[in-house]
Amino acid sequence: MQPDYIVFAGINGAGKTTLYKSNLWKFSSTPSRLSRVNPDEIIRDNGLNPESQSDQLEAGKIAVNQIRRLFEKRNSFTHETVFAGKTSIKRIEEAKRRGYRVVLNYVGLKDTELAIERITRRVEVGGHNIDPELVKKRWASSLNNLAIAKQICDFVNVFDNTDYLKEIAAWDHGTLCWWGASKVRGEWLLDSLLDE
């Protein structure tokens, strides 16, 4: 049976964990039990400090090792990422080489200001902070990676979480197969596609 590599991507504060918990992303063939790689959970589960740069790097190293082991065992799993680095695309390409079905679930917002506002609210209730300048920097990189990934992944589902979580577009093996009816929601996605 073909293993699944299911990616939850989007900048900080977009709602990746919200999407994961919603089950909106599941296919009928999605295994009921999946390993999950999420650097934020690694920080929490290992008693690391989410404000510490070195602890964030340590969580990243642990995540990379977890992914490596899961690939070697050919286990299906989910992975949460801001999707802003070069390794995001390389990891998808590696999964494809290893025979994985790759499903990307991308969560976006109308702008970086909303992401920063949500991060501020998260901090107020005990969550971790992210430097606003880093959020702004990751915005374009993450969308650029989405543009590349939609040509590589088996399936790409794009969700807008500006007001509430709603699927707005889907690609099947690089071909746009569905576009949501709402033109206002997902303007950020349309803008990024026009920039290609």
Q: Please give the Cα distance from 138 to 72 (Å, whole number).
A: 29
pLDDT given for residue 195 in this prediction: 63
Pick from 1, 92, 179: nearest CA to 187: 179
Q: Which of the two residues, 163 and 31, has the higher pLDDT score? A: 163
pLDDT bucket at 192, cuts 50 / 70 / 90: confident
Q: Which of the two residues, 181 and 137, has the higher pLDDT score? A: 137
Q: Which of 1-15, 39-53, 176-190 bottoms out in mean pLDDT, i.e. has the lowest?
A: 176-190
- Map out the domains of the chain with their CATH numbers: 4-194 (3.40.50.300)
pLDDT given for residue 184 in this prediction: 53
Pick from 8, 1, 3: nearest CA to 142: 8
SS3 at position 96: helix
Residue type, 27: F
Determine which helix (DSSP H) or strand (DSSP E) holds 6, and give its type and residue range. Answer: strand 4-9
Residues 6+ apart with CB under 8 A from 107: 8, 9, 10, 14, 15, 16, 18, 19, 159, 160, 161, 165
Q: Which of 68-72, 99-103, 118-122, 159-163 bottoms out in mean pLDDT, i.e. has the lowest?
A: 118-122
Half-sphere exposure of 147 (CA within 13 A, CB side): 15
Which residue(s) pair with 176 in the sheet?
171
Tell me if 146 sits within 8 A of 196, measured CB to CB.
no
Of the chain, the percentage scoring pLDDT greater than 70 comes to 96
Per-residue pLDDT for 182 more than 90?
A: no
pLDDT bucket at 130, cuts 50 / 70 / 90: confident
Tell me if 154 sits within 8 A of 101, measured CB to CB.
yes
Instruction: State the pTM of this model.
Output: 0.91
pLDDT given for residue 196 in this prediction: 59
pLDDT given for residue 100 in this prediction: 98
Q: Where are the beta strands (DSSP E) in 34-192?
A: 35-37, 77-81, 101-108, 155-160, 166-172, 175-179
pLDDT given for residue 52 in this prediction: 85
pLDDT per residue as tens digits for the range 40-65: 899 989 999 888 889 989 999 999 99
Q: Please give the Cα distance from 99 to 96 (Å, whole number).
A: 5
CA distances from 112 to 27, 167, 177, 188 (A): 30, 19, 28, 10
